[in-house]
Amino acid sequence: MSGTSLDGVDAVLADISAAGAVQLLRTRYLPYPDTLRERLLALHTPQTDEIHLAACAANDLARLYAEAVIALLDDVAPASVRAIGCHGQTLRHRPADGYTLQIGNAALLAELTGIAVVSDFRSRDIAAGGQGAPLVPAFHAQALRHPGIHRVIANIGGIANLTDLPVNGRIRGWDTGPGNLLLDAWIKRHNGSHYDRDGDWAASGNLHPGLLAAMLNHAYLQLPPPKSAGREQFNPEWLETTLANLDHAVAPADVQATLLEFTAISLCDAVRRECEGVQELYVCGGGAHNGALMQRIGAHLPTIQVATTAQLGIDPDWVEALAFAWLARQTLNHAPGNLPSVTGAQGERILGAIHPA
């Protein structure tokens, strides 16, 4: 898994039983080299010769994915691994235009590892009229649903999304807005860090009510589910425009504090509005390590138990990678991987393209 945060590659080795129970065996993380991160970030906007540049970046990603797989397996024979589920790196996600684009050259990854690769999970759902995202709720339902407790799973990566797991009724899920994307971009610009460790810089600033109100006025937040978001909706340029429209400058640390509150409120508002009766909320993704963000989520949801998925037995760092291992297994077993109640697709679909070893 390599997500919107553009931080690196999460690789897991998973053993999935015939009944679908998932066991996490090994993990490996490889950070993106700074040069690759910058190339990928640049490809999110149109530029000269971008088709060639994207293809070259896809090859470099495949080599990094292969490096992660080889390091992960170590003494495990590749022949004992049924497949690699590879999400790829999203460059465009535009379901309204009928497409999504994740690069990573799955054919090269299969060639380098000698293992079959399942990739391009989102396109079939979009072809069926869905958003193509989020896809992880199907895995959350398999691995984290409780028969007697109404739970919500919040995945806070670059973008934040929710999975609503009621005891009875439809499973739902959608992107609530930005997660770490804007927080990471802002601290990188001002402090040179790739992320705000434990939310310390945000905690040093003061909330700016005018900026918060302007951000909460974003049209995406008013849309009902199903819906999905990405850098198309929430990006540094949008933040700069929002800041420029204020009648005075805002100190950088205060912007960070307000961005953190924006992530917390946009997520918690969605929980209150759409997940009536929820008893527990479990956070996974990088946001689970942001103590200041977790504190604000808890403060906004005082009647709900808030914790990370570690309390459910799955380290929050590896939930999404496990989800794509599970989705790859669904593909190989000719089983659906989407939930129409989440994505809005016309029905269940087998997701992904298979590149044999």
Please report, for the domain that includes residue 209, its CATH number: 3.30.420.40
pTM: 0.95
State whether 165 and 199 are in the same domain.
yes
Tokens in use for 340?
């129409």
State whether 289 and 351 are in the same domain.
no
**Which of these ranges, 1-10, 220-229, 275-284, 297-306, has the smallest mean pLDDT?**
1-10
Phi-psi category of residue 181: left, alpha or beta, with phi > 0 → left and psi -120 to 50 → alpha: alpha
In 3D space, the residue among 104, 218, 259, 34 whose CA is nearest the CA of residue 42 turns out to be 34
Residue 280 domain boundaries: 136-312
Please state the rounded mean pLDDT for residues 78-102: 97
The count of structural domains within the chain is 2
pLDDT of 260 higher than 90: yes
- 26 in any annotated domain: yes
Residue 258 is given by DSSP the state: H
State whether 236 and 322 are in the same domain.
no
Q: For residues 147 and 164, what is the distance between their CA atoms, to the nearest angstrom?
A: 13
- 97 in any annotated domain: yes
- Look at residue 296 and give its three-state secondary structure: helix
State whether 33 and 73 are in the same domain.
yes
Can you give the pLDDT at residue 19?
84
Q: What is the Cα 203 distance to its own chain's centre?
A: 24
State whether 273 and 346 are in the same domain.
no
- 333 in any annotated domain: yes
Please state the rounded mean pLDDT for residues 303-317: 97
Can you give the pLDDT at residue 5?
86
Specify the residue for token string 């535009």: 94
State whether 191 and 308 are in the same domain.
yes
What residue type is 125 in one-letter code?
Answer: D
Query: CB of 188 within 8 A of CB of 194?
Result: yes
What value does the CA radius of gyration of the chain take, rounded to a whole number of Å?
A: 20
Cβ partners under 8 Å of residue 132, min gap 6: 93, 95, 100, 122, 123, 125, 126, 228, 343
- 46 in any annotated domain: yes
State whether 163 and 205 are in the same domain.
yes
State whether 245 and 265 are in the same domain.
yes
161-189 burial: b if 16+ Cβ within 10 Å, else e:
bbbbbbeeeebbbbbbbbbbbbbbbbbee
State whether 112 and 145 are in the same domain.
no
Residue 54's φ and ψ, nearest 5 degrees, are: -65, -40
pLDDT of 20 higher than 90: no
State whether 325 and 256 are in the same domain.
no
pLDDT of 4 higher than 90: no
Mean per-residue pLDDT of the chain = 97
- 1 in any annotated domain: no
